[in-house]
Amino acid sequence: MRFNLKKPCKDCPFLQGSSTNKTLVKGRLEGIVSDLMDGMTFTCHKTLNLKSLDQEHCAGALQYLEREERPNQMMRIAERIGLYDHTKLEQYSSLIDPIH
C-alpha cells in the first residue's frame, strides 16, 4: 500500500456530503473508523483495481486520523520509513464529524 495521496477525492466517504458517504449502509462509516482506530488501513476506492502494492491509502482517512490526533500504527510506521509525510496532506474543513 502506498501513502502518496495528499487530498481526498470528491467521492471520499470521509468528506461531508460526498456521494459515497450518502450511499454507505448505515453503520458502515462507523465501522471503517473503528477499524482505522484499531490499526487497519483503508484503501482509496479509486485504486482498488490496481495491484495491491500500487493501491493507495485513502487520503480522507489519513486526514481524519491526523485531525483526531490518532494516527494508526501503519501511518506511524510509514512515516518513520519515509513513505508518508503528514505535513504534505492538504487540509479540508469538510471532513466528517468525529465518530467515537
In this prediction, residues 75-98 reach a mean pLDDT of: 93
Q: 36, 17, 1, 3: which is closest to 95 by C-alpha?
A: 17
CB atoms within 10 A of CB 86: 15
Domain residues for the domain of 29 are 19-88
pLDDT of residue 21: 82
> Which whole-number Å values give the CA distances from 79 to 3, 18, 45, 84, in the listed order?
9, 28, 22, 4
> Is residue 4 included in any domain, yes or no?
no
> Is residue 52 included in any domain, yes or no?
yes
| pTM, 2 dp | 0.93
Quick one: CA dihedral 36, 52, 76, 68, positive or negative? negative
Asked whether 9 and 44 are in contact (CB, 8 A), the reply is yes
Classify 74 as helix, strand or coil. helix
Classify 27 as helix, strand or coil. coil
Indicate the number of domains in the chain.
Answer: 1
Q: How confident is the model at residue 80 (pLDDT cuts 50, 70, 90)?
A: very high
pLDDT in tens, 8-59: 999 999 999 999 988 999 999 999 999 999 999 999 999 999 999 999 999 9
Residue 92 has pLDDT above 80, yes or no: no
In this prediction, residues 4-8 reach a mean pLDDT of: 95
> Is residue 65 included in any domain, yes or no?
yes
